[in-house]
Homo-oligomer: A and B are copies of this chain.
């Protein structure tokens, strides 16, 4: 998944070992998995050359990072100009997030 972090999100990630994001749709820092329980336990943090992006290697609680229930948000592959969904959802988003 790709998400946005501000200073507070990074600090809380470092303090707790769980990925936090600044969720622009909510206007505040949230722990990833706050609604779903699908937390991300941070194992490694890598910083890019101009220090404006990081990659976090995580252990995904529940096996799915995506709100669709798929393991990854990047679960659609562009093949011959069309998007193909690859893999099955791990959970049912209706059950996790409600209707």
Contact = CB atoms under 8 A, between A and B. Distances in A.
Nearest to A83: B47
A48 B86 CA distance: 12
A34 to B, nearest CB: 18
Interface size class of A (residues with CB under 8 A): 20 to 34
Nearest to A67: B49
A49 B78 contact: no
A1 B70 contact: no
A46 interface: yes
11 contacts: A1-B48, A46-B74, A46-B78, A47-B74, A47-B78, A49-B67, A49-B70, A49-B75, A49-B76, A54-B78, A55-B74
Interface of A: 1-2, 44-50, 53-55, 66-68, 70, 73-78, 83
